[in-house]
Amino acid sequence: MGNNVWFRPFVWIDYRLALLFTVIIPLILLIWAYVQKAEGIQRLLSIYWRVASLLAITVYLMIGGFGVSFISGLMARILIPISLWFWVDLNDDIEYQSSGPLKLIFTSWRWAVSVYSVLSAIAFVPLLGCAFSEAALKTPSCSVWFEAPLLFKEYFHANSKPGFLGFLGIIGLIIYVLYLVYFVLVKLGKQGRSAIQQ
């Protein structure tokens, strides 16, 4: 699947970078923040994980071979940097927190994941054609993006059918979109750029 695509190695690099920047490092930082009782960082990372769950939903949609996964993947890359910089009170809290290794590494990660997400989103835009055409979805340049999610399936869901996992992805996407709409239309108007009520 997609063996003749010239950018195939870059697709795999992107998945590895995503695993490092969006899963492994923020998980370590969240545990570290709880140990250090750094509330501002804890709260921001909690918001991050809720937003970044769209990446996990995207993986399941890709296992199911759904074109909408390209839209959700792009949206995740756009929403992640927004979620990390949007909250004025958390930005201030982290800014005035005493210096130390946690603050330095967290700040470095926040910048790194934001730059990665923006560059990745720009690179992902041309792939939106995969979302709107069944014929395009079957081409190697689109199907190559399904390889890593299918490998994930083999490791963690070997006995499950791709269609069922894709269906779980659709359910997850519906819940995510409903919550996002509720947040934008209701909560955002009440609390503005304050994360206190998050």
Instruction: Give the tens place of pLDDT for each residue, 67-113.
Output: 999 999 999 999 999 999 999 989 888 888 878 899 999 999 999 99
**Does 197 map to a domain?**
no
Residue 2 belongs to a domain:
no
136 versus 22: the higher-pLDDT residue is 22
- The answer to whether position 3 is within a domain reads no
Give the pTM: 0.90
Rounded Cα–Cα distance for residues 47 and 65 (Å): 28
Q: Report the pLDDT value the prediction gives residue 2, as an integer from 0 to 100.
A: 44
In-domain check, residue 184: yes
Beta-carbon neighbour count of residue 124 at 10 Å? 21
What is the structure's pLDDT at 1?
46
pLDDT tier, 198 (very low <50, low <70, confident <90, very high otherwise): very low
Domain with 119, as residue range(s), is: 8-191
Kindly report the CA angle at 48 between 152 and 174, in degrees rounded to 5? 65
* 124 within domain boundaries: yes
- Compute the distance between CA of residue 173 and CA of residue 58 in angstroms, rounded to an integer: 8
Which pLDDT does position 96 carry in this prediction? Answer: 84
Amino acid letter, 103: K
Number of domains forming the structure of the chain: 1
Residue at 110 is within a domain: yes
